[in-house]
Structure 1
Amino acid sequence: MSFFFRAASRLRPSPQEIARTIKDSLVALDTKTGAKALEDAEKNILTLRHTLSGDGEVEPNQEQVLQIALEICKEGVLSLFVQNLPSLGWEGRKDLVHCWCVLLRQKIDESYCCVKYIENHVDLLDFLVVCYKNLEVALNCGNMLRECIKYPTLAKYILESSSFELFFQYVELPNFDIASDALNTFKDLLTKHEDAVSEFLSSNYEQFFGLYTRLLSSTNYVTRRQSVKFLSEFLLEAPNAQIMKRYILEVRYLNIMIGLLKDSSKNIRICAFHIFKVFVANPNKPREIIQVLVDNHRELLRLLHNLPTSKGEDEQLDEERDLIIKEIEKLVRISV
């Protein structure tokens, strides 16, 4: 019995062999054509998945998983994962994404070796972002990117790269699933790491909100709704207080919110109100903001009185609306 187990142990491939086999099959897939090369690559990726996560009968050996992660990095397999993703079939891509996520989480001596590898090969991140244009692999790349964004250094790179601006295009793609996935990735980039986001927005405030304004003014209803909803949540988060204070000093953004208060969508009007109310409630409103509120007070009061509520279900919204109405009326009295 003990001889059987020793023999079985010798038959089990080492981490080095696993990484080398995966590498060879992906290189072959990259250089050859035909069903055999694809079949071998997908079979080896499935085997890797079972080794990393178990197969339902055998649990993964964590020490072996860590060693595989090291060998994967040593052999440059992560680069081959990204480069060959479009060549795989649906199941193969699904297995590859699973392996990618597991490998990135492997921590050895306080260091994530696969994350470190990507830090040294940031072109992989750019490639994944661009792949949102590829209908076949867009959702797979989205999953891989969101796993990367969990790590501050990788998220910071994407934010500061020229690739980041592509997300403003992706959230308006005609394919709803891909546009929604891109928006989820966009949200993660702006919410996962407060310090990196604060630094990025402080340095790129004009450019970022200039692009974001186009989303708020989009003719696509879904884009408009999702954009104003996210902005209303993002600006009101405590870590973004300084960004919000800067935003509510600008007349151009107040005018955008007034325009959204006129939208035919109830949900858009309510989200716009949650941003508009901060402009009005700001105790240090610039003269230009006050002037816009006074000059447009009749229309604003009408819009606020007609703001849809949940018929008693959202008492806080009703209270906030009444306070904002009173503040506008007060501004009008003072200006007379």
Structure 2
Amino acid sequence: MSFSFFRPSRPKTPQELDSLAALDTKTVVEVKALEKALEEVEKNFQTIRCMLSGDGEVEPNPEQISQLALEVCKEDVIALIILNLHILGWETRKDIVYCWSILLKQKVGSTYCCIEYIENHFDLLDSLVICYDNKEIAVNSGNMLRECIKFPTLAKYILESASFELFFKFVELPNFDVASDAFTTFKDLLTKHGDIVAEYLDGHYNEFFTLYEKLLTSSNYVTRRQSVKLLSEFLLEPPNSHIMKRYILEVRYFKVMMMLLKDTSKNIQISAFHIFKVFVANPNKPREVKVILAKNHEKLVSLLHDLSTGKGADDEQFDEEKELIIKEIDRVSRLPNLEH
């Protein structure tokens, strides 16, 4: 299949030039020319989708799909898709997202050719991240990003790129659907590849947790709830054990957990408890943490006694953990030489 319909730089005839150049927003002169080109793009992606999924009667041809994947890379269609996503219609974008997930997983020989293409054009991942700033295409680009994140090299690039910091803004965008989608992508980046995440956190500890603290203390309830739950998920993963040991020595973050433990939302309290308990159980607690525990002893014990998951069997384990933490708080409160 030829992808000439998507490439304004290689017209074959003057007639094609009018429709193909219309995809380049810098050369759009007539609305009709753009509409004609977009119609052609839409038809072609409908054809590609059929080729990848079959039509109900004819099964997809693996050889044909491999050839298609090679052609997509050879003709720079991956770049053209991302850079033109904002001018494509809703149906076309939906077809592209569907085709994207299949083509990225397509092996030609021993190589994922589309992944290799993106590895040679990493800036395209930055372009996809920035798409969250456009609410019309944000969810489409989010789906495409999450397919990319399944591959370690692509996830590693996004984590270490300057564009990763944008997620701290995107997860708090006023549009709920866009913010939720951005948080889903953010979560995938921090949970899909443990070793890569641990390496990233090790090298960017201060800047990451300083930004993350702002999410934990956000005035937005959804942001607080999602952020503390996510923190309890990735911080307690085995590859991040050395990061966790460093984190629980930070008095400033202990104070954040104390605040979240007193939140009006039970969901936030439960998630905060799972991190708070690690601070308390730490045999090498900083003196300032001990002082805070002793000073707030009665309030904390009362709060913990009232806290429950309400989930039957799960509540039993939760109660056991609570009792251990309460005993440790009691022990610390009786230590001599603590300034109250």
Q: State the TM-score, normalized to the length of structure 2.
A: 0.90
Partner of 1:19: 3
Instruction: Tell whether the 8 Å contact from 1:225 to 1:267 is kept in structure 2 after alignment.
Output: yes
Partner of 1:29: 23
Tell me which moved more, 31-40 or 256-265. Answer: 31-40
Instruction: Tell whether the 8 Å contact from 1:132 to 1:141 is kept in structure 2 after alignment.
Output: yes
Partner of 1:4: none
Task: Give the superposition deviation at 1:307.
Answer: 2.0
Counterparts in 2 of 1:61-140, with a 5 A limit?
A: 61-140=61-140
Distance 1:324 1:74, change over 3 A: same
SS of structure 2 residue aligned to 1:80:
helix
SS of structure 1 residue aligned to 2:50:
helix
Distance 1:67 1:104, change over 3 A: same
Q: Distance in 1 between the 2:283 and 2:327 partners? A: 14
SS of structure 1 residue aligned to 2:218:
coil
Code of the residue aligned with 1:137 in structure 2: it is I
Instruction: Tell whether the 8 Å contact from 1:26 to 1:84 is kept in structure 2 after alignment.
Output: no
CA RMSD of aligned residues (A): 1.6
Q: Which runs of 5+ in 2 are unaligned?
A: 9-18
Partner of 1:215: 215
Q: Distance in 2 between the 1:28 and 1:121 partners? A: 24
Instruction: Tell whether the 8 Å contact from 2:168 to 2:212 is kept in structure 1 after alignment.
Output: yes
Q: Distance in 2 between the 1:302 and 1:20 partners? A: 70
Paired residues in the alignment total 320
Q: Distance in 2 between the 1:106 and 1:271 partners? A: 39
Task: Give the superposition deviation at 1:46.
Answer: 0.9
Counterparts in 2 of 1:223-242, with a 5 A limit?
A: 223-242=223-242
Q: Which runs of 5+ in 1 are unaligned?
A: 1-16
Instruction: Tell whether the 8 Å contact from 1:18 to 1:48 is kept in structure 2 after alignment.
Output: no
SS of structure 2 residue aligned to 1:298:
helix
SS of structure 2 residue aligned to 1:334:
coil
Counterparts in 2 of 1:266-305, with a 5 A limit?
A: 266-305=266-305
Partner of 1:9: none
Q: Distance in 1 between the 2:61 and 2:311 partners? A: 57
Partner of 1:247: 247
Per-residue Cα deviation, 1:115-146 (whole angstroms, up to 9, x for no partner)? 11111111211111011011100000000000
Partner of 2:15: none
Counterparts in 2 of 1:163-242, with a 5 A limit?
A: 163-242=163-242
Instruction: Tell whether the 8 Å contact from 1:26 to 1:41 is kept in structure 2 after alignment.
Output: no
Q: Distance in 1 between the 2:287 and 2:110 partners? A: 53
Q: Distance in 1 between the 2:235 and 2:158 partners? A: 21
Task: Give the superposition deviation at 1:106.
Answer: 1.0
Q: Distance in 2 between the 1:26 and 1:119 partners? A: 27
Partner of 1:316: 317
Q: Distance in 2 between the 1:37 and 1:111 partners? A: 33
Instruction: Tell whether the 8 Å contact from 1:105 to 1:112 is kept in structure 2 after alignment.
Output: yes
Q: State the TM-score, normalized to the length of structure 1.
A: 0.91
Code of the residue aligned with 1:317 in structure 2: it is F
Instruction: Tell whether the 8 Å contact from 2:159 to 2:200 is kept in structure 1 after alignment.
Output: yes
User: Is the counterpart of residue 335 in structure 1 residue 333 in structure 2?
Assistant: no
Per-residue Cα deviation, 1:77-101 (whole angstroms, up to 9, x for no partner)? 1111111111111111000111111
Q: Distance in 2 between the 1:113 and 1:26 partners? A: 26
Per-residue Cα deviation, 1:10-33 (whole angstroms, up to 9, x for no partner)? xxxxxxx33344546765422444
Instruction: Tell whether the 8 Å contact from 2:232 to 2:274 is kept in structure 1 after alignment.
Output: yes
Identity between Structure 1 and Structure 2 (%): 66
SS of structure 1 residue aligned to 2:127:
helix
Partner of 1:60: 60
Code of the residue aligned with 1:307 in structure 2: it is L
Distance 1:200 1:26, change over 3 A: farther
Q: Distance in 1 between the 2:202 and 2:311 partners? A: 40
Q: Distance in 1 between the 2:318 and 2:196 partners? A: 32
Q: Distance in 1 between the 2:271 and 2:104 partners? A: 37
SS of structure 2 residue aligned to 1:246:
helix
Q: Distance in 2 between the 1:73 and 1:259 partners? A: 51
Instruction: Tell whether the 8 Å contact from 2:5 to 2:40 is kept in structure 1 after alignment.
Output: no
Instruction: Tell whether the 8 Å contact from 2:5 to 2:37 is kept in structure 1 after alignment.
Output: no
Tell me which moved more, 235-244 or 151-160. Answer: 235-244
Q: Distance in 2 between the 1:312 and 1:63 partners? A: 53
